[in-house]
Chain A
Amino acid sequence: MDPALTQALKTGVAPMQEYLLQGSILDGSKDILLHRLRGLCDNADTAPETFSDHEMRVLNNRCSQSMCKHLRYVGQTEMGIGDKSRHTLVRTCLDIGVSDTVVKFLNEMGFRADFEFVARGIFFHKGRMKVTVSKLFKLSQPGDPQAGLEPVSGSHLVELSVVAPTGQEQVGEDMKNFAEQLKPLVCLEKIDHKPFAAAKQGT
């Protein structure tokens, strides 16, 4: 039997993978992109949802605090960036809803806080694809999202992601086709995260 399947049966956790494409767009052109996305995605007649999330990255984990806390455990990117057969970045991920005590719990386990930021933006969806256009803010006082926020850069981050069970290749194709629709405004592509991690360790 497939080793991933046996593992899943043993632990009782479904193996999910996240397919990710990222790009950025300057603040000035954000409105055109929003208009485009509104037409392409589901629910064109209702206004899209806005969100404001405070994310804390704890070593290799992502822990977002908002109305209900959510923990996301993300693994290494599969097969590296050079793999031409995959159009998107693929990495295994585990999504867990958690209670408020998660930060303390993680600290007890030995994880140390890496960095945190606030993301504010708009959320679209088309079928099971999630598109977010968000602006990242730095916290002037660490740990307190209510205190002043300063934007990190003059552009918005655009992300297209799908969380699907392992082994579905069609997802990559669908995402690539969708990304083609946004081509002249924003180029969504798979971005290698290794240089960033290496640069951070160097500093």
Chain B
Amino acid sequence: MAQSGVTVSIEAVHENQIQEVSLDGHETVIPPLSMSECLAKSAQKIDFGEEDEGIEGKQTSEEGTTEKEESAFQPSLWPWDSVRNKLKTSLTEIGVLLDVLNIAKEKKYMAIVQVQQDTSEPKSALQLLAKKKAISLQSICGGLNTAASVLISGAERLKRSQEEKGGVSSHDKFHIELLKLRQNWRLKKVGNSIIGDLSYRSAGSRFWQGGTFEVTKTTSLPSDQEGSTAQQYPLQVVIPSELEGSSYLQLEIKSVPDSMDLMSVTLQVPDGFGRTPLNAHWQSRLDTAQNVLFCKELFAQLAREAVQLKSNVPHVVVSNQIITNIFPGVQLSIVLCHSTGKGDKKTGPHSGKMDHKHVLEHSLHQLLREVHHRTLHLAAPHPVTAPFGMSKRRRLAGPTAMSRSDLKEMSDRSGETLLEQIIKQARHEVLRQRTMSVIDRLAGEIPDPQIMAHWSCLNSPLQSNVKIIITSNGYEGMRVTWQSLDLEIGVDGILVTTKDRRTLKLSFQEKEVEDIIRWQVSQHHIALSQNLARLIGWQVLSYNGCSGVGEMEGFACASSIQLVAPNNDRMLSVRSGPTSGLHVFLKIDSSGNLDPSLSSLVDPKWLNLGGTFRELDLEQIEGRNLATKLELIMAMVNKKR
């Protein structure tokens, strides 16, 4: 029978060998090797003399023939023996070395020679320099050259300053110029540089763009160009780039056809006008830069108002131009012309063709200055403890209980914008020009009565007055015959006051002024006839200032007068109208045709009722004007028969 498999039990070997087992079962274990014993054991195995040989050989021999080795070598008393031997030999060697060094120190028998590698370092820097010189000779030469040139130029400058006549060195000249500059402009020293301010900030401007310029000493040598010898200033100003060049504001009023659309305007291209050369005097350069800044501010303000203003007429702002219609058919354009002077100059008198309104441009400048002034000069409060910044009227608004509409009106009047003001002025300008041209034209066209215009010396940008007087040449003594007219030209229309103190309001149309003058001319004719008749002795039968009979006039009305001779047999009728003109009719009665028998019954005066009027051809009658002609007629007709 098969036995069950042998039970094999595997046990781990005891790590520590058992030395003996005592009778009571207690095992005495060989204590494991301590660290020093272990080290000794390992040290024994190492052969210090044969380190370079294959360590594998050693290891294999170690495992297998540990005992053999032990038997080959002499059995050592303690495992450190070989180590001791090795150390002994090394000690011997070091002793030898020490002896050698001591002998070498004496320098009698032995000397220490430096090994080449150690002493190479102090020499390498020089070598390096030489290398660098050799390789980059050109760069050093270049460096030396620049250094030389700097020194030379410095020396030149010193020589120049020493050679200058007058005893004033350029350094002093600079300071004298700086003093002159300080008298005109505000300067400040910031760090190493001198900064100046050319904006209008201190005068009340609140423009975002500031103008600061820098003052520098002229360091460049005088060049050999012609004409530059006299212009070398010790001082130079550096102006910010956006303020370079020069600029001006151009205002133009033009008549455009009625149906012209604001959108189809022609853009103005500023023509190149003279630029200030770089070596011009600093005052002129600073002035032009300040002007550029001022024009910028002015245009920015106008453009802002044009966009924000709510008015009946739309304003158009296109890049550097503002266009608006001030009257139907009349356009105002404001253009900011800024030329930096860098472009090529256009030849030809471009500006001659454009009709600038210089007065209005100047007016714009003045208006902006006024805005500045108002910012700074606020009314002082009385009493002093009151808040300041309000006008007196505003301060009294509370105690005097102003209503809301009053306050609104007050704010409207005081806060008129720049654009509104300049539009008003432009309108007035247009009206005045038109009226002037009409009067002048009519004075030339109408020879018979003289038309004289006396313009008032005192006028404002928004109102002018003119007095028109119509007289006959040679008969000015008769003041009664004068026709006088007062025209008050405002912003929107004209107010006319006639001799008899009637007022009429005219619109901006030119024709209305012409009509009025023509009407007054016709009135003058009749007034003249009336007074002449009185002087000569004729009698006025009827005077009609506005006759409702006869053909109708185009405008106004005709007036007429009937005169009768002193002996009652001649009658004169004069009719004058603005469109129908002047007509003189004469009636010579034919009393001879009457039956002689009737003359005893009837009063002779009734015999005058018959007869027809016949027109006289005034062209044939001698005389310069109606007055002389009438006088002649009356004298001839009244001749004693």
What residues of chain A have their CB less than 8 Å away from a CB belonging to chain B?
A: 16, 42-43, 46, 49, 51, 53, 55, 62, 64-70, 72, 95-99, 119, 121, 123, 125, 128, 130, 132, 134, 163
Contact = CB atoms under 8 A, between A and B. Distances in A.
A43 B398 contact: no
Contacts of A16: 387
A62 B399 contact: no
B376 A51 contact: no
Interface of B is mostly: loop
B313 interface: no
Nearest to A67: B382
A123 B376 CA distance: 14
Most buried by A among B386, B389, B392, B398: B386
B384 interface: yes
A72 to B, nearest CB: 6
Given A96-B398, A97-B398, A128-B389, A53 B378 contact: no
A98 B396 CA distance: 8
Nearest to A97: B398
A69 B399 CA distance: 9
A119 B381 CA distance: 14
Given A95-B386, A128-B389, A123 B399 contact: no
16 contacts: A16-B387, A49-B380, A51-B383, A55-B383, A65-B383, A66-B383, A68-B395, A69-B399, A70-B385, A95-B386, A95-B387, A97-B398, A97-B399, A123-B384, A134-B384, A163-B387
B353 interface: no
A42 B389 CA distance: 13
Contact of A53 (B385, B395, B396): B385
Given A97-B396, A97-B398, A98-B399, A68 B376 contact: no
Interface residues of B, number: 20
A119 B396 contact: no
A43 B395 CA distance: 22
B44 to A, nearest CB: 87
Interface of B: 376-378, 380-389, 392, 395-400
Nearest to B380: A49
Contacts of B385: 53, 55, 62, 64, 70, 72, 95
Contacts of A121: 384
A46 B397 CA distance: 28
Contacts of A49: 380
B384 A132 contact: yes
Contacts of B378: 125
Nearest to B397: A97
Contact of A70 (B377, B380, B383): B383
A1 to B, nearest CB: 26
A185 to B, nearest CB: 20
Most buried by A among B377, B385, B386, B400: B385
A64 B387 CA distance: 13
A62 B382 CA distance: 14
A42 B382 contact: no
A109 B260 CA distance: 69
Contacts of B396: 68, 97
Most buried by A among B380, B383, B388, B392: B383
Given A121-B384, A130-B388, 11 more contacts: A46-B377, A64-B383, A66-B382, A68-B382, A68-B399, A70-B381, A72-B385, A95-B386, A98-B399, A119-B384, A125-B380
A130 B387 CA distance: 9
A69 B398 CA distance: 11
A95 B389 CA distance: 13
A68 B381 CA distance: 10
B399 A130 contact: no
A197 to B, nearest CB: 19
Given A42-B376, A43-B376, A128-B389, A97 B384 contact: no
Given A53-B382, A70-B383, A99 B399 contact: yes
Contacts of B400: 99
Contacts of B381: 70
Contacts of B397: 97
Contacts of B376: 42-43
A94 B584 CA distance: 83
Contact of B380 (A51, A72, A99): A51
A42 B397 CA distance: 27
Most buried by B among A51, A62, A98: A51
B298 to A, nearest CB: 22
Given A42-B376, A125-B388, A128-B389, A53 B383 contact: yes
A42 B377 CA distance: 8
A73 to B, nearest CB: 11
Contacts of A70: 381, 383, 385-386, 395
Contacts of A69: 399
A150 to B, nearest CB: 21
Nearest to B373: A43
B324 to A, nearest CB: 35
Nearest to A102: B399
Nearest to B398: A97
A166 to B, nearest CB: 15
Nearest to A70: B386
Nearest to A42: B376
A98 B395 CA distance: 9
Contacts of A55: 383, 385
A46 B373 CA distance: 12
Nearest to B395: A97
A66 B396 CA distance: 12
Closest 8 CB pairs of A and B: A64-B383, A97-B398, A53-B383, A49-B380, A99-B399, A70-B386, A66-B383, A97-B399
A117 B389 CA distance: 25
Contacts of B392: 68
Most buried by B among A55, A69, A130: A130
Most buried by A among B376, B381, B400: B381
Contacts of B384: 51, 53, 119, 121, 123, 130, 132, 134
Contacts of A66: 382-383
B380 to A, nearest CB: 4
A23 B383 CA distance: 20
Contacts of B380: 49, 51, 123, 125
A69 B382 CA distance: 9
A51 B382 contact: yes
A64 B395 CA distance: 14
A70 B384 CA distance: 10
